[in-house]
Structures are given as structure tokens and as C-alpha cells.
């Protein structure tokens, strides 16, 4: 049983930077009141579900639970006890925090937060979000009543309550075992086929050893001689190619020297081009200016002409030099292209030589194989070694056949176990056993709330509801008030089953605005009587806006108010 002790939080919803603590182990019934937006739901609903499951109870985004004024350092801590162990869950946003403490010691965190959360749900509280909200919280905002869930979600809740989800985990493990069994069976089948093939090869070899004679040796020797002639031809081709490569290497220009010469020519061309540009700039200056910009002295036509003569002469000399360098660059580029073609030819010939070498090696290997065949022919009378191999392979075949049979038997067992662990197997039998108890409890609580109808769930968790006149109804046929009574009866029934099974059993029940919705006066009165009985063994918190009408019905009360944009308990 999970005994919730307290929850404390700061910068959570409308609560400020100082920790606010709510005692969850008050005993009896507690009325929680306050105006809309003053923090009731944050303090009791969203705080507990966020601490345990990392998500608020209501349909709001996680980042919306951070206080909108402080906008950081949102922390929620929930303390509870299971047997003699005390746990503390600390979860926060901005910065992100997720820590689980057991008896004051931090439990080693897994590499992924998802695995850490899975450990919390499966190994500690043994409830997931859906199960928790079915047995601990009934809220008017985002609560999904059991009867409005999908069949799959209904089954998940019931399995958690009956503590039979272990069969689902076993089924998942069994699927892995089945897959491994099929893979091992396939491997055994493949290995068995290989052994049989080896036996066939060895038997064929044995027969060949017994039959081989001079004719076989002559045939193999003829193939060896032919192959040697082919190798000789290939070697001669290789010698010719080597001569050609040597000749090309001897005559091939030095590419590095040509490239260096081209680089120098390009550099010289760039320098001459720059000098020509400077010369043209000076000519332009003399032609366009009549006054020296530095000394403001007039530049006469005679002075200009005397200055332009050496400039123009230099211009002509630069042009001649550029033309000469351009010819050199062209020649060097042509020489490099020619040299590249020569080197490409060398590379092609070298590649052909490599191919010939590979051919020669391949034929030499073939000659080695032929020699081994001749050696086998020479020892054709000695079959003892081959017979030993066949005997060993026959033993391997027997062992693999036995292994295959064992795997087949194992697969049959796994198949039967899989059928037992399916939803229609053991779990269905357990659920079928508990269905009468569930239906009895549901109808008891419906009767306690003055709702007299026969309500039954079948093995697929579909409902059958009959009135006193035996008319058939469905959940959707009833009014909102009647639906709420059914939802409350289911909630209380699940809590009782969980208590009996000691699975999803807690000392906490939170009801959010149940009395503010569809319950009429009679339903309210009967439900309050139920709560008085339940409060003997759990702490019940009822959130309501009808504090003035319900105050005298509760032994304790808790009021929330907001001052200066921050909520607090008064």
C-alpha cells in the first residue's frame, strides 16, 4: 500500500518562490475551497501527478505549470511510504530535475529519463498514469471515466488493479524467446544441411579415391602442362610490357620541372601585367592632368611630351615581354599535356602488368590444386582418413538432428505458453474470477447512492445495465448525473479491489468538483455517507466551490486564496 505523506512545491502554477506544503495524511475528509484560479487544482491534482508521472492532471502543457511571473526554478516534491521504506520524488522544470530517493538515498539514475520513469512506475508505485487516475483522482476537467475509455485502456487499468500485468511482461519476454527459438531452429536446420552436404562431398571423394587411376593422373597432368604453357605466354607478355614501361619512363619529361617552369612563367607574366597596368595608369595621368597634384606646378605640353616618351617606350617593351612570356606559357602547357599522356600510358601499361601478374598467380594456384589431385590419386588406396571424416560428420549430423528436435519441442512449449499468456488465456481466467466481485461492488456502491439498476461488466469490459423493469441500457443512455454516479461507483469499486489485492492501493482519494457538477441533493447526501465510511481507512480531499453548503459535512477544511498574483493556503 502506498501511504502518501505530503506534497510540497514552489514556482508551481500560481504559487511563488517559497515552498508550499500540503499534508496528504490528515485522516478523514477534507474540504478544499477557494475561488477559481486560486490554485486548488495545482496544489492537489497537478502537483501529485506531475511529481509521479511528469505530467499535470489537467489538459495543460508541461511548460505552462511554471509560475508565469518567476518563470524558473519550478520544483515539486512528493513523499510517500511503502511498507517500511520512505520515498521522495523530486521533479522540476527550468532547470529540469527528476530524482527518486529511498530512505534518504538517491536511487541510481538510468541513462535515459524514460527508463528512470519506467523504474518508478513498475518497481516502486506499480501504477501507470491511467491506473492512478482511476483509483486516486476523479476530476471534472481531464478525468476520463472508465466507461469512456477504449477497450485496450480499460484492460490496462484492470490488469494494474488486479496486479496481473506481470503476465503481459511474461508474454513480451516469451515473444523474444519464441523469436530466438525460431532463429536457433533456422540455424540448426542450416547447419544440418551443411553437414549433410559435407558428408555427400566426402562420400563422393571417397568413391573418387577408390576409382582414380592412371587415366585420371594423365588428365590432370595434361591440364597442368597446358596451364604452364599459358603461364609462359603471360610471362613473355609481361616482359614486353616491362620493356615498354622502361622506354616510356626513360623518355618521359619530368612533370615536376615542367610544372615549376610553368609556375615561374605565370608569376613573371603576372608581374609584367602589373607593370603594364602601372605604365598605363601613368600615361593616363599625364594625358588627363595639366597640373601636378603635389606641388601645384603646371604641366606644359612640352613637359608632358618629354615625360610620355620614356613611358611609351617602356609600354612597348612590356608588351613585347608579355608576348614572349605568353608563348613560353603556351609551350609549357603543351609540354605538360604531352607529358601527362605519356604518364597515363605508363599507368595503363603498369595496370596491364598487374593484371597479368594476377592471372599468373591464379594459374599457379590451379597447378597447386591439380598437384593435390595427383597426390590424392597416388594415395587412392588409402581411404582411412576420409572414412574417419565421414564418421565424425555422421556424429555431427546425429547431434544436430537431436538439437533440432529439442528446439522443435521447445517451440511447441513456447507456443502453448504464448496461448496461456495472451489476453484470452490466464489473464482472462483471473479477470473472469474477479468479475462477479467487481460487479457486486459496483452495484453495491450504486445502491448506496440510491441508483437502483443492475450493472454488469463482461470479460471484454463492455457494460450491460438493466433497470428495475429489466430494460437494457448502455452507459450513454443515462443523464450526466446518473453517469457521474456510475463513474463514482466504478472508482470506489476499483479502490476496493486494489485494496483487496494490495496492488494499486493507496491512502489517498481526491475528488475535484464532484459535488459541483451533476449530483442532485439526494445523490450528494448518499455519496457523503460513502465518503464517511471510506475516510476510516484513507485520506479524502474534496475540491468544491460549495464551501458554504458543505462545510458542516467535513471534519477538516483547506482554503486557497491569491494575493499579489501568488496563491497560498490560509
List the single range of 195-204, 413-422, 496-505 with lowest mean pLDDT.
496-505
Matching residue, cell 447512492 = 449
pLDDT score, position 325: 84
**Among candidate residues 127, 6, 102, the one with its CA nearest the CA of residue 501:** 127
Classify the phi-psi angles of 470: left when phi > 0, otherwise alpha if psi is within -120 to 50, otherwise beta: left
**Per-residue pLDDT for 236 more than 90?**
no
Instruction: Read off the pLDDT of residues 442-496 as tens digits, 9 standing for 90 and up.
Output: 888 888 777 778 888 888 888 888 876 556 777 887 877 777 778 878 877 877 7
**Per-residue pLDDT for 184 more than 80?**
yes
**Rounded Cα–Cα distance for residues 467 and 463 (Å):** 13
Mean pLDDT on 228-240:
86
10 Å CB burial of residue 435 (0-12, 13-18, 19+) is middle
Alpha helices in 252-300, H assignment, sequence order = 255-288
**Rounded Cα–Cα distance for residues 500 and 437 (Å):** 11
List the single range of 79-83, 154-158, 560-564 with lowest mean pLDDT.
154-158
- On whether the CB atoms of residues 10 and 74 are closer than 8 A, the answer is yes
In the structure, what pLDDT confidence band is assigned to residue 382 with cuts at 50, 70 and 90?
low
In the structure, what pLDDT confidence band is assigned to residue 19 with cuts at 50, 70 and 90?
very high
- On whether the CB atoms of residues 20 and 43 are closer than 8 A, the answer is yes
User: What angle, rounded to 10 degrees, do the helices at 426-448 and 480-501 form?
Assistant: 130
10 Å CB burial of residue 499 (0-12, 13-18, 19+) is middle
**Among candidate residues 27, 386, 462, the one with its CA nearest the CA of residue 206:** 386
pLDDT score, position 288: 76
500 CB-near residues (< 8 Å, 6+ apart): 437
Of 332 and 499, the one with more pLDDT = 332
Of 352 and 375, the one with more pLDDT = 352
10 Å CB burial of residue 133 (0-12, 13-18, 19+) is buried
- On whether the CB atoms of residues 517 and 484 are closer than 8 A, the answer is yes
**Among candidate residues 551, 550, 491, 490, the one with its CA nearest the CA of residue 525:** 550
Instruction: Read off the pLDDT of residues 54-75 as tens digits, 9 standing for 90 and up.
Output: 999 888 888 889 998 989 999 9
Mean pLDDT on 498-517:
74
Report the share of the chain in percent with pLDDT over 70.
91
**In the numeric block, which cell numbers belong to residue 344?**
597515363
**Per-residue pLDDT for 502 more than 80?**
no
**Among candidate residues 22, 18, 19, 15, the one with its CA nearest the CA of residue 67:** 15
- Mean pLDDT for all residues in the chain: 82
List the single range of 149-158, 357-366, 477-486, 496-505 with lowest mean pLDDT.
496-505
Judged by DSSP in three states, 558 sits in strand
Matching residue, cell 470479460 = 459
List the single range of 134-143, 182-191, 304-313 with lowest mean pLDDT.
134-143
Residue 298, beta-bridge partner list: 291
Matching residue, cell 463514482 = 488
CB atoms within 10 A of CB 108: 8
Of 504 and 301, the one with more pLDDT = 301
In the structure, what pLDDT confidence band is assigned to residue 338 with cuts at 50, 70 and 90?
confident
CB atoms within 10 A of CB 392: 14
Side-chain-side CA neighbours of residue 282 (13 Å): 17
**Per-residue pLDDT for 110 more than 70?**
no
Of 78 and 158, the one with more pLDDT = 78
Mean pLDDT on 139-145:
58
- On whether the CB atoms of residues 138 and 485 are closer than 8 A, the answer is no
pLDDT score, position 21: 94
In the structure, what pLDDT confidence band is assigned to residue 211 with cuts at 50, 70 and 90?
low
**Per-residue pLDDT for 142 more than 60?**
no
pLDDT score, position 157: 76
Matching residue, cell 466551490 = 545
Strand order across the 105-106 sheet? 20-23, 2-10, 74-82, 85-93, 97-102, 105-106
10 Å CB burial of residue 71 (0-12, 13-18, 19+) is exposed
Side-chain-side CA neighbours of residue 53 (13 Å): 16
Classify the phi-psi angles of 403: left when phi > 0, otherwise alpha if psi is within -120 to 50, otherwise beta: alpha
**Rounded Cα–Cα distance for residues 40 and 62 (Å):** 17
**Per-residue pLDDT for 378 more than 70?**
no
Instruction: Read off the pLDDT of residues 393-426 as tens digits, 9 standing for 90 and up.
Output: 888 889 889 988 988 888 888 888 888 877 777 8
**In the numeric block, which cell numbers belong to residue 236?**
613473355
Residue 560, beta-bridge partner list: 569
**Per-residue pLDDT for 381 more than 70?**
no
Mean pLDDT on 522-548:
79
115 CB-near residues (< 8 Å, 6+ apart): none
**Among candidate residues 396, 347, 40, the one with its CA nearest the CA of residue 197:** 396
Q: Could you report how far apart the first and last alpha carbons of the chain are, in Å?
A: 31
Rg (CA), the chain: 47
**Rounded Cα–Cα distance for residues 5 and 21 (Å):** 11
List the single range of 10-14, 45-49, 304-308 with lowest mean pLDDT.
304-308
Mean pLDDT on 41-57:
90
Of 415 and 382, the one with more pLDDT = 415
In the structure, what pLDDT confidence band is assigned to residue 176 with cuts at 50, 70 and 90?
confident
pLDDT score, position 98: 93
| Dihedral of alpha carbons 464, 467, 469, 471, sign | negative
pLDDT score, position 40: 86
Amino acid at each position: 500500500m502506498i501511504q502518501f505523506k505530503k506534497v510540497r512545491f514552489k514556482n508551481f502554477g500560481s504559487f511563488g518562490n517559497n515552498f508550499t506544503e500540503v499534508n496528504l495524511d490528515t485522516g478523514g475528509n477534507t474540504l478544499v475551497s477557494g475561488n477559481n484560479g486560486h490554485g486548488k487544482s495545482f496544489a492537489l491534482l497537478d502537483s501529485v501527478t506531475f511529481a509521479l508521472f511528469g505530467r499535470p492532471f489537467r489538459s495543460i502543457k508541461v511548460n505552462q505549470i511554471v509560475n508565469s511571473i518567476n518563470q524558473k526554478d519550478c520544483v515539486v516534491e512528493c513523499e510517500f511510504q511503502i511498507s517500511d521504506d520512505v520515498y521522495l520524488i523530486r521533479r522540476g522544470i527550468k532547470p529540469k530535475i527528476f530524482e527518486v530517493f529511498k530512505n534518504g538515498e538517491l536511487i541510481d539514475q538510468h541513462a535515459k529519463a524514460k527508463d528512470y520513469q519506467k523504474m518508478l512506475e513498475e518497481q516502486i508505485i506499480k501504477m501507470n498514469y491511467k491506473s492512478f487516475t482511476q483509483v486516486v483522482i476523479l476530476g471534472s476537467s481531464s478525468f476520463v471515466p472508465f466507461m469512456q475509455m477504449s477497450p485496450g485502456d480499460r484492460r490496462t487499468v484492470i490488469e494494474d488493479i488486479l496486479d496481473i500485468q506481470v503476465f503481459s511482461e511474461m508474454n513480451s519476454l516469451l515473444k523474444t524467446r519464441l523469436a530466438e527459438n525460431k532463429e536457433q531452429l533456422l540455424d540448426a536446420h542450416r547447419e544440418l544441411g551443411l553437414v549433410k552436404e559435407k558428408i555427400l562431398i566426402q562420400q563422393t571423394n571417397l568413391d573418387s579415391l577408390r576409382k582414380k587411376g592412371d587415366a585420371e593422373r594423365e588428365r590432370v597432368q595434361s591440364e597442368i602442362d597446358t596451364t604452364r604453357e599459358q603461364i609462359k605466354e603471360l610471362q613473355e607478355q609481361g616482359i614486353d610490357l616491362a620493356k615498354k614501361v622502361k622506354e616510356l619512363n626513360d623518355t618521359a619529361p619530368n612533370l615536376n620541372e615542367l610544372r615549376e617552369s610553368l609556375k615561374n612563367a605565370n608569376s613573371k607574366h603576372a608581374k609584367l601585367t602589373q607593370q603594364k597596368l602601372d605604365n598605363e595608369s601613368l600615361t593616363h595621368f599625364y594625358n588627363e592632368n595639366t597640373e601636378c597634384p603635389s606641388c601645384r606646378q603646371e604641366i606644359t605640353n612640352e613637359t608632358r611630351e618629354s615625360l610620355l616618351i620614356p613611358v611609351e617606350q617602356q609600354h612597348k617593351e612590356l608588351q613585347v615581354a608579355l608576348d614572349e612570356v605568353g608563348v613560353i606559357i603556351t609551350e609549357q602547357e603543351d609540354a605538360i599535356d604531352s607529358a601527362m599522356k605519356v604518364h597515363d600510358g605508363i599507368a595503363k601499361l603498369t595496370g596491364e602488368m598487374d593484371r597479368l601478374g594476377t592471372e599468373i598467380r591464379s594459374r599457379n594456384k590451379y597447378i597447386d590444386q591439380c598437384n593435390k589431385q595427383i597426390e590424392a590419386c597416388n594415395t587412392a588406396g588409402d581411404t582411412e582418413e576420409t572414412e574417419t571424416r565421414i564418421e565424425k560428420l555422421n556424429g555431427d549430423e546425429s547431434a544436430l538432428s537431436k538439437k533440432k528436435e529439442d528446439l522443435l519441442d521447445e517451440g511447441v512449449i513456447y507456443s502453448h505458453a504464448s496461448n496461456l499468456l495472451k489476453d484470452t488465456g490466464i489473464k482472462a481466467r483471473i479477470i473472469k474470477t474477479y468479475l462477479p466481485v467487481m460487479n457486486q461492488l459496483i452495484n453495491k456502491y450504486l445502491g448506496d447512492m440510491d441508483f437502483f439498476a443492475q450493472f454488469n461488466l463482461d470479460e471484454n469490459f463492455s457494460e450491460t445495465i438493466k433497470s428495475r423493469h429489466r430494460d437494457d441500457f448502455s452507459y450513454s443512455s443515462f443523464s450526466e448525473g446518473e453517469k457521474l454516479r456510475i463513474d463514482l461507483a466504478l472508482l470506489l469499486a476499483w479502490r476496493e479491489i486494489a485494496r483487496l489485492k494490495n496492488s494499486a492501493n493507496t491512502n489517498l482519494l481526491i475528488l475535484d468538483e464532484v459535488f459541483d457538477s451533476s449530483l442532485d441533493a439526494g445523490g450528494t447526501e448518499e455519496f457523503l455517507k460513502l465518503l464517511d465510511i471510506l475516510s476510516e481507512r484513507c485520506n479524502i480531499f474534496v475540491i468544491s466551490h460549495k464551501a458554504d453548503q458543505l462545510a458542516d459535512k467535513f471534519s477538516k477544511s483547506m482554503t486557497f486564496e491569491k494575493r499579489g498574483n501568488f496563491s497560498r493556503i490560509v
